[in-house]
Amino acid sequence: MPGTPTNPSADRNQSPPCSGPDRILCVNIDLDDLRFYRGIHALPPEEDRPTIFEVAVPRFLQMCGRLGIAATLFTISDDLRWPTAVSSLRAAVAAGHEVGSHSATHCYDLSRRRSDFLDAEIAGSRKALEDAVGAPVIGFRGPGYNLSDALLGTLLRAGYTYDTSILPAPAYWAARAAVIGWMRLTGRRSSSIPGRARDFFRHRAPYVWGPVAPGLKEFPITTCGLGRLPLIGTTLASDGPMARHLVRSAAALPFVNVEFHALDFLDVEADSLDPRLRVEPALRIPLADRTAAFEGALARLAEGRRPARLADL
């Protein structure tokens, strides 16, 4: 059966990768360069600078340090062309953090590509990252949370032991599909794609994939509360009723997996960003307020939980 598990009974037949009474908090960040946001929002290209490695990664790691959390940094291996990227990732690994793959070039339609392209993106990025940081890379997050059976099989063959691309948030999928459709109707083309709908309706607890990638672990990004909203930087960026509701709802879950993006740790003024990037909701909140909201949420989520890197589960 391709793409299993797709329903609760199938999930119950799998062995959960993290067992026992442990309550676990995982924190990770996708190191998406600003060029990808420009593509999503159909903004014209700009000269590319390693801003996320120069300022966003250090800010994220400082926050993790204050909270005593070892995190996972999902990295696009093409960005290793910047010496700053390599040095900041090595510093992260030296401080106990994990580096995972976020593909080689972050093409949003990776899930639609053929096997030779998948090999280059998946096996190629793993080798490039391991060579650059000198540490094992065993985890993957797909660009745009998009998966396919072929992609999952390629992960397994390339030596990955886990994937963490599943975002079980039906409302997110519907909203993204609507925005992409609206942009097309109004003559703009987003680089993003709606993705495989059924992946956004899957289980929230960790599981192991069935025949399509036997033994590959899946650690879904946590979604919770009314509307099953994701625990991501965008929803945790202000200490308002929504973030507090999500954090309270997450308290009932044994496994909590919070996802940030590098953009969450940038500031339009302080980092001289294109003001048009304020189309991203997190960038409309002052960085100091945002960081305080993130820290407050993570501190509450960490109560009674063991922080762990995804690689350790």
- The DSSP secondary-structure symbol of 82 reads S
Choose the binding region for Zn ion from 7-15, 32-40, 65-73, 208-216 (rule: CB under 5 A).
32-40
Helix (H, G, I), strand (E, B) or coil at 226: coil
Among 5, 26, 28, 32, indicate the residue that binds Zn ion (CB under 5 A). Answer: 32
Q: Could you give the residue ranges of the DSSP H alpha helices within the chain?
A: 8-12, 34-40, 51, 57-67, 83-94, 115-133, 149-157, 170-185, 233-236, 241-250, 287-302
Q: To the nearest whole angstrom, how small is the minimum distance from the Cβ of residue 32 to Zn ion? A: 4
CA 271 → CA 37, 75, 235, 266, 290, distances in Å?
16, 21, 22, 7, 15
Q: To the nearest whole angstrom, how small is the minimum distance from the Cβ of residue 207 to Zn ion? A: 22
Task: Examine residue 30 and tell whether it contacts Zn ion (CB under 5 A).
Answer: yes
Six token digits for residue 252: 């009932």
Choose the binding region for Zn ion from 11-19, 135-143, 157-165, 229-237 (rule: CB under 5 A).
135-143
Closest residue to Zn ion, based on beta-carbon distance: 32
Task: Examine residue 259 and tell whether it contacts Zn ion (CB under 5 A).
Answer: no
Task: Examine residue 33 and tell whether it contacts Zn ion (CB under 5 A).
Answer: no
Identity of the residue, 14 or 192, whose beta carbon is nearer to Zn ion in the bound complex: 192
Identity of the residue, 30 or 121, whose beta carbon is nearer to Zn ion in the bound complex: 30
Six token digits for residue 91: 């510093």
Identity of the residue, 30 or 280, whose beta carbon is nearer to Zn ion in the bound complex: 30
Identity of the residue, 11 or 30, whose beta carbon is nearer to Zn ion in the bound complex: 30
Question: Is the four-CA dihedral 129, 135, 140, 143 of positive or negative sign?
Answer: negative
User: What residue ranges bind Zn ion (CB under 5 A)?
Assistant: 30, 32, 143
